Structure 1
Amino acid sequence: MSQRVNPSGEGPEGEEPKDTGRQPSAYPTHPQDPWGSPRKKRRDRARASAKWLVGLLLVGVIAFGLWPRHHSPTPLNAAPAGTAAPWTAAATKADASRSASASPTPTFTNKDDQYFTGSPALNWADNEAGFVLPKAAAVNGVGSGYIAEGYQELEKLMEAGGLDATVLDGGSVSDFTKLLDPSSGTARKLNSWLAQPSYEHDPVQLVTRFNPATTRLVGHTVKVNGSMSAAAGSQGHTALLTADYVFVYVVSPVSNPSDTERVIVHRTLQIEAVNPNYYNYVAGEAWVYSYAVSKANIQCYRYDGYVDPAFGDSAQPNQTGTVDAYATGNQLTASPQPSSGSSSTQGACQAVNGT
C-alpha cells in the first residue's frame, strides 16, 4: 500500500497558472478587492502564500500487502473493452468458453462477488454505484449550484481515474485529463510523469493503471466505498471539495489467469470550487488542488508508472506495525505513517491487516 501525498494546495509544479480567459460580460457589482479593482481574481491567488513553504515536497508511505493468495474459478471476462465502463462485453471465444466452465456460487447475485469472499468489500457498491453525491449547500460565498457542479466534476474525475477501462488497462489517460482545467498544469504534469515515471513522478498518484503485459483485470466489478465533502477555501468565495474513496480490484498474472488477488487503492482527491463573480471559472474543467493515494497488496519499491500487484513479491517491509487497507479517511489531513528506514527514492514498506 502506498501513501503518496501532495499537501501543498498549490498549482502543479509550483507554476502560476494562467487565467482561463473566461471574462464576464460586465464586471460584477460586488465590493472592490484589496487592490481597488473589481476584476475577478486569478485562480491561484488563494494558494500563493503557501508556495514558498511547501514547494514540491512529496511525502509518502508504501505498505506491502502480506495477504494470502486467493485462488478462485477461472476469470469470467478478464480483458477491459477500453470503454468508459470497466470490462464491458468484449470477450473472445476462448474467454466465453472459460466463462461457461466457471461455476460461481449460486448465492451471489453478482457473479463477480465470488472474488470478494472474505473481504470487507464484499458488500460494497459496484463501480459507479459507489459514488453517492452529498446534498450541495453554499460554502464560503460559493453558491450551492457551483458546489453541486463541483461534486459532479469530482465524481467524473474519480471514475476516470479509478474505473475507466482504458486507463486501468495501461492505456491513454485522456478520459481523465480532458476533465481538467488546462491552465492548472495538472494534465501536463501527468503526461510528463507517464513518459518518465519515478518515485517522485508517479502517475499512479492521480490515476490507477495496471501493466497489461503482466497483469490481467478479472471480472466486471470494482468495489467502491467512500464519501465526498465540502469545506471553506483559504480565501473568500472559494471552497475545497474532497473525495475520499477506496477501490478494490481483482487481478491475476497474465501467465496464470486462475490465480487471482485483490489490490486496494485508497484515493483522496481535492478540487477547488469558486464563485465565478470573483474568480475565472469554466464549467466542466476541474482545478485539482491536492491529492493522496495509498495502495495495498502491491510490490514494494517499484515505480514504473503502474500499480504492480504483489504476485509473490519477495520484498520485505521496512516498517513495523500494520495498516488497515480498507479504512477510509481523508489522507490529506491524516497523521503521516512512520517513515524510519525509508529513503526519498525508495519509500517505506509496511504490512497490512486486510484481505
Structure 2
Amino acid sequence: MTTRRHFLKTGGAAAATGIVFCGCGLLHGAHGQQSARQKLPVMIGGKRVKTIDVHAHCQFPEAGALLGASAAAGHVPTLVDGRSRSEVAAAAFIEIDKRLAAMDAQAVDMEVLSINPFWYGSERDVAGQIVKLQNEKLAELCASKPDRFAAFASLTLQAPDLAVQELETAVRKQRLKGAAIGGTVNGEAFSDPKFHPVWAKAEELDVPLFIHPTGIPELAKKLAGNGWLTNTVGYPLETTIALSHLIFEGTFDRFPKLKVIAAHGGGYLPSYADRSDHACLASPKSCNPNIQLKKAPTEYLKQIYFDSLVFTPEAIRHLVAQVGASQVVLGSDYPYPFQLQPVDHIFASQSLSDDHKADILGRTAARLLNFTA
C-alpha cells in the first residue's frame, strides 16, 4: 500500500509533475491530469467563469467537544496515507489564509462548505446544540469572506420538527445556502414520511439538500480489509440507496421542486440507471402497487444534481450522457485528497462544450444556490 512516507521518497517524480504539500499536510497538484494547470480567474471562450466547489468540508472543534473528545474522534476516518484521526480532523479546521491559498492553487473561486453529520445518534438536545454552534460558525465564516465561502447548514435530522426550524433560521437569518445531510438517519431512509416536513421546508425556501454518505454500519464486516472499502464501495452504495428510495417510494413525486445534490457523482446510480427502469417489470411482486410513479425511474435523474467527483474524463462523459450537463456541478471533497485539481479535471474532459464546462464549473451552482456567478 502506498504510504505518505513512500510518496515522499518519490519526491523527484512528484516535483516533476508539480505536486507539493501545503502547510495543513495535504497534497496539492495534479491528480492524474495532463491538462494545463488552470489559474484564477478561470476563462472560457474569453469570458470569466466563477468556479464554485459545492463539495468541500470543514469542522469546528467546539462542536465535536460537545460529544466528548473520544466520541468526536470516532467519527473521523483514518485516511489511507496513514495519518491519525487527529491529523485528519485538524486538516478540516479552516485556517483562512491556508484554505484560500489552497483554493487559489485549485483555481476555485468559492467553496460551499459542509460538515458530515456525526450527531444523528445523539439525543435531541445535544445534537441541537452541535447544529446551532456549527451553523452560527458557518455563517460567521461565510460573512467574513462572502466572495470565497458559502455553506450548507447542519440539521438535527433525527428530530424533523427541530430540523425544519433549523433550516428556516439557517436560510432566512444566517444566509446559508441549503443543508448537508447524510445518506440515512440512524438507518431510516429519507423516504420515510417523518422527514416530509423537512423536504417541504426545503421546497418552500427553494434551497438544495446536499446528500453526503457517512457509512453503512451493517456492512462494516464485509467492507473490512484492504482498500478502504467503507469509503471506496460503501459511500457510493449508500448514496445509490438513498436516491433510489427517494425515487421508488414516490418522494420526488410528492416534492417535485425538491433540489438534491448527490456527492461523489451520485454513487453507482448514474452508472447503471437503466436497470431501475426494468426492476418492477421483471419482478412486479417486489414493487408496491400503491406507489404509481409519474415517470420512469431514470427520468428522476434529470431533477437530481450530481457533483463532478468521478475522477476521469470518460466518467464525466458518461455522467453527462446519463443525467445531462445541466445537472452536474463542481466537487472536490477538499481537504480530503480525492480530486486535487477539480477545475483541471473539467477542462480535461474533451467531450464537454465550452458552455457545458462553464455550467459545471460554476454557472449551474450559482443558479442552484441563488447567487450570481
Q: State the TM-score, normalized to the length of structure 1.
A: 0.26
The structure with the largest alpha-carbon Rg is 1
Question: Which has the larger strand fraction?
Answer: 1
Q: Which has the higher contact order (CA 8 A, sep 6+)?
A: 1
Q: State the TM-score, normalized to the length of structure 2.
A: 0.25
Question: Which has the larger helix fraction?
Answer: 2
